[in-house]
Protein backbone atom coordinates (compact mmCIF):
# COMPACT_ATOMS: atom_id res chain seq x y z
CA UNK A 1 0.00 0.00 0.00
CA UNK A 2 1.42 3.39 -0.92
CA UNK A 3 1.77 6.31 1.47
CA UNK A 4 -0.86 8.20 -0.56
CA UNK A 5 -3.52 5.54 -0.02
CA UNK A 6 -2.44 4.74 3.53
CA UNK A 7 -2.51 8.22 5.00
CA UNK A 8 -5.14 10.95 4.77
CA UNK A 9 -3.72 14.32 5.89
CA UNK A 10 -7.07 16.16 5.62
CA UNK A 11 -8.63 13.53 7.88
CA UNK A 12 -5.86 14.00 10.45
CA UNK A 13 -6.35 17.76 10.37
CA UNK A 14 -10.09 17.26 10.83
CA UNK A 15 -9.48 14.96 13.81
CA UNK A 16 -7.07 17.46 15.38
CA UNK A 17 -9.63 20.24 15.03
CA UNK A 18 -12.46 18.06 16.35
CA UNK A 19 -10.35 17.36 19.45
CA UNK A 20 -9.47 21.07 19.82
CA UNK A 21 -5.83 20.11 19.34
CA UNK A 22 -5.55 22.52 16.39
CA UNK A 23 -7.28 25.86 16.87
CA UNK A 24 -7.61 28.86 14.58
CA UNK A 25 -8.22 32.35 15.92
CA UNK A 26 -6.13 34.93 17.79
CA UNK A 27 -3.80 33.60 20.49
CA UNK A 28 -1.11 34.93 22.80
CA UNK A 29 1.65 32.32 22.85
CA UNK A 30 3.96 31.57 25.78
CA UNK A 31 6.68 33.49 23.90
CA UNK A 32 4.52 36.63 24.09
CA UNK A 33 3.95 36.63 20.35
CA UNK A 34 0.48 36.61 18.85
CA UNK A 35 -0.60 33.94 16.36
CA UNK A 36 -3.57 32.87 14.29
CA UNK A 37 -2.98 29.22 15.22
CA UNK A 38 -2.64 27.31 18.46
CA UNK A 39 -1.61 23.67 18.75
CA UNK A 40 -2.21 21.49 21.81
CA UNK A 41 -1.46 17.94 20.70
CA UNK A 42 -2.22 16.46 24.12
CA UNK A 43 -5.89 16.88 23.25
CA UNK A 44 -5.38 14.49 20.33
CA UNK A 45 -2.87 12.14 21.93
CA UNK A 46 -5.20 11.42 24.87
CA UNK A 47 -7.24 9.33 22.42
CA UNK A 48 -5.38 6.02 21.82
CA UNK A 49 -7.63 5.14 18.89
CA UNK A 50 -6.43 8.32 17.15
CA UNK A 51 -2.83 8.38 18.33
CA UNK A 52 -1.97 4.78 17.44
CA UNK A 53 -2.80 5.01 13.70
CA UNK A 54 -0.94 8.33 13.45
CA UNK A 55 2.17 6.89 15.08
CA UNK A 56 1.89 3.77 12.90
CA UNK A 57 2.15 6.05 9.87
CA UNK A 58 5.22 7.77 11.29
CA UNK A 59 6.79 4.42 12.07
CA UNK A 60 6.17 3.24 8.51
CA UNK A 61 7.77 6.36 7.06
CA UNK A 62 10.85 5.78 9.21
CA UNK A 63 11.08 2.17 8.01
CA UNK A 64 10.63 3.23 4.40
CA UNK A 65 13.53 5.67 4.82
CA UNK A 66 15.70 2.71 5.82
CA UNK A 67 16.26 3.99 9.36
CA UNK A 68 16.58 1.51 12.21
CA UNK A 69 16.67 3.27 15.59
CA UNK A 70 17.80 1.61 18.79
CA UNK A 71 15.75 3.96 20.96
CA UNK A 72 13.14 6.71 20.67
CA UNK A 73 13.68 9.83 22.79
CA UNK A 74 10.86 12.30 23.44
CA UNK A 75 11.40 15.65 25.16
CA UNK A 76 9.02 16.07 28.10
CA UNK A 77 6.24 16.78 28.21
CA UNK A 78 4.89 16.82 24.69
CA UNK A 79 7.15 14.10 23.34
CA UNK A 80 6.50 11.53 26.07
CA UNK A 81 3.33 9.98 24.63
CA UNK A 82 4.64 10.27 21.06
CA UNK A 83 7.90 8.53 21.95
CA UNK A 84 6.12 5.74 23.81
CA UNK A 85 3.70 4.93 21.00
CA UNK A 86 6.35 5.31 18.30
CA UNK A 87 8.66 3.01 20.25
CA UNK A 88 5.85 0.47 20.55
CA UNK A 89 5.21 0.60 16.82
CA UNK A 90 8.92 0.20 15.99
CA UNK A 91 9.60 -2.40 18.69
CA UNK A 92 12.31 -0.41 20.47
CA UNK A 93 12.58 1.24 23.92
CA UNK A 94 11.24 4.75 24.45
CA UNK A 95 12.70 7.20 26.97
CA UNK A 96 12.42 10.94 27.49
CA UNK A 97 14.49 13.97 28.37
CA UNK A 98 13.40 16.60 30.87
CA UNK A 99 14.77 19.75 32.40
CA UNK A 100 16.81 19.57 35.58
CA UNK A 101 16.82 22.07 38.45
CA UNK A 102 18.98 24.45 36.41
CA UNK A 103 16.67 24.35 33.42
CA UNK A 104 18.97 22.20 31.31
CA UNK A 105 17.48 19.40 29.24
CA UNK A 106 18.93 16.02 30.24
CA UNK A 107 18.23 12.34 30.79
CA UNK A 108 17.03 11.52 34.30
CA UNK A 109 15.19 8.67 36.07
CA UNK A 110 18.01 6.24 35.36
CA UNK A 111 17.75 6.65 31.57
CA UNK A 112 21.10 6.23 29.80
CA UNK A 113 22.49 5.89 26.29
CA UNK A 114 25.17 3.56 25.03
CA UNK A 115 27.83 5.09 22.76
CA UNK A 116 26.67 4.93 19.15
CA UNK A 117 23.01 4.21 19.91
CA UNK A 118 20.82 5.32 17.01
CA UNK A 119 18.07 7.72 18.03
CA UNK A 120 14.83 9.08 16.63
CA UNK A 121 13.73 12.22 18.49
CA UNK A 122 9.94 12.19 18.87
CA UNK A 123 7.99 15.43 19.25
CA UNK A 124 4.30 16.21 19.34
CA UNK A 125 4.87 19.47 17.47
CA UNK A 126 7.99 21.14 16.09
CA UNK A 127 7.41 24.85 16.69
CA UNK A 128 10.69 26.50 15.72
CA UNK A 129 13.14 23.59 15.82
CA UNK A 130 15.11 25.25 18.61
CA UNK A 131 14.18 22.75 21.34
CA UNK A 132 14.73 19.82 18.96
CA UNK A 133 18.24 21.06 18.23
CA UNK A 134 18.87 21.45 21.97
CA UNK A 135 17.81 17.85 22.63
CA UNK A 136 19.92 16.63 19.71
CA UNK A 137 23.03 18.35 21.13
CA UNK A 138 22.45 16.81 24.54
CA UNK A 139 21.97 13.31 23.14
CA UNK A 140 24.98 13.59 20.86
CA UNK A 141 27.00 14.74 23.84
CA UNK A 142 26.00 11.51 25.56
CA UNK A 143 27.28 9.47 22.63
CA UNK A 144 24.05 9.03 20.69
CA UNK A 145 23.63 9.23 16.92
CA UNK A 146 20.57 11.18 15.73
CA UNK A 147 18.84 9.50 12.79
CA UNK A 148 15.99 11.98 12.52
CA UNK A 149 13.06 13.67 14.21
CA UNK A 150 9.46 12.47 13.96
CA UNK A 151 6.50 14.66 14.89
CA UNK A 152 2.77 14.79 14.60
CA UNK A 153 2.82 18.43 13.47
CA UNK A 154 5.49 20.65 11.96
CA UNK A 155 4.35 24.16 12.88
CA UNK A 156 7.19 25.72 10.87
CA UNK A 157 5.62 24.56 7.62
CA UNK A 158 8.84 22.73 6.77
CA UNK A 159 11.20 25.60 7.60
CA UNK A 160 12.81 24.26 10.79
CA UNK A 161 16.18 23.78 9.01
CA UNK A 162 17.23 20.75 11.02
CA UNK A 163 20.44 18.95 10.06
CA UNK A 164 18.85 15.48 10.04
CA UNK A 165 15.82 13.90 8.33
CA UNK A 166 12.39 15.02 9.51
CA UNK A 167 9.13 13.10 9.46
CA UNK A 168 5.97 15.09 10.15
CA UNK A 169 2.42 13.99 9.45
CA UNK A 170 0.98 17.48 9.10
CA UNK A 171 2.79 20.70 8.18
CA UNK A 172 0.96 23.68 9.63
CA UNK A 173 1.75 27.21 8.50
CA UNK A 174 1.05 29.62 11.35
CA UNK A 175 1.47 33.38 11.27
CA UNK A 176 3.09 35.02 14.30
CA UNK A 177 3.23 38.71 15.14
CA UNK A 178 4.75 41.01 17.72
CA UNK A 179 2.00 42.27 20.07
CA UNK A 180 2.53 45.88 18.97
CA UNK A 181 2.33 44.95 15.27
CA UNK A 182 -0.46 42.41 15.16
CA UNK A 183 -3.05 42.66 12.36
CA UNK A 184 -5.46 40.55 14.39
CA UNK A 185 -5.34 43.13 17.17
CA UNK A 186 -5.84 45.94 14.65
CA UNK A 187 -8.87 44.08 13.32
CA UNK A 188 -10.34 44.10 16.82
CA UNK A 189 -10.28 40.31 17.24
CA UNK A 190 -10.00 39.47 20.96
CA UNK A 191 -6.77 37.73 21.90
CA UNK A 192 -6.96 34.49 23.87
CA UNK A 193 -4.19 33.23 26.11
CA UNK A 194 -4.06 29.42 25.96
CA UNK A 195 -5.48 28.11 29.20
CA UNK A 196 -8.10 30.84 29.39
CA UNK A 197 -10.49 29.39 26.83
CA UNK A 198 -13.61 27.57 27.98
CA UNK A 199 -13.28 24.05 29.31
CA UNK A 200 -14.20 22.56 25.93
CA UNK A 201 -10.91 23.67 24.39
CA UNK A 202 -8.33 23.32 27.11
CA UNK A 203 -9.48 21.13 29.99
The binding site for 5-phospho-alpha-D-ribose 1-diphosphate comprises: 99, 123-131
Domain that includes residue 57, residue range:
9-187
Q: Is residue 200 part of a domain?
A: no
> Are the C-beta atoms of residues 39 and 125 closer than 8 Å to each other?
yes
Q: Is residue 116 part of a domain?
A: yes
The binding site comprises: 99, 123-131, 155
Q: Is residue 45 part of a domain?
A: yes
* 34-39 and 166-171 strand pairing: unpaired
Q: How confident is the model at residue 4 (pLDDT cuts 50, 70, 90)?
A: very low
Q: What's the pLDDT tens digit per position in 164-202?
A: 999 999 999 888 899 999 999 999 999 998 854 443 433
Q: Is residue 197 part of a domain?
A: no
Domain count for the chain: 1
Q: Is residue 4 part of a domain?
A: no
Q: What's the pLDDT tens digit per position in 117-153?
A: 999 999 999 988 888 999 999 999 999 999 999 999 9
Sequence-distant (≥ 6) Cβ neighbours of residue 190 within 8 angstroms: 26
Q: Taking 60 as the threshold, does the pLDDT of residue 58 lie above it?
A: yes
The binding site for orotate comprises: 127, 155
Q: Is residue 38 part of a domain?
A: yes
**CATH number of the domain to which 134 belongs:** 3.40.50.2020
Q: What's the pLDDT tens digit per position in 63-94?
A: 999 999 999 999 999 999 999 999 999 999 99
> Are the C-beta atoms of residues 72 and 120 closer than 8 Å to each other?
yes
Torsion of CA 103, 104, 110, 116, to 10 degrees: 160
Q: Is residue 202 part of a domain?
A: no
Q: Is residue 192 part of a domain?
A: no
Sequence-distant (≥ 6) Cβ neighbours of residue 167 within 8 angstroms: 58, 61, 62, 65, 148, 149, 150, 151
Q: Which residues pair with 146 in a beta bridge?
A: 119
Amino acid sequence: MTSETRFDAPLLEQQLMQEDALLRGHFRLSSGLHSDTYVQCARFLRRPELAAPAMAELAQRIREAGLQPDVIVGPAMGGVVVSYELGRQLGVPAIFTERDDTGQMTLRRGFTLQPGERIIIAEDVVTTGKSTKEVARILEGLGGKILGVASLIDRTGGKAELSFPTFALLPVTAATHAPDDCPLCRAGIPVVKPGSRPEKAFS
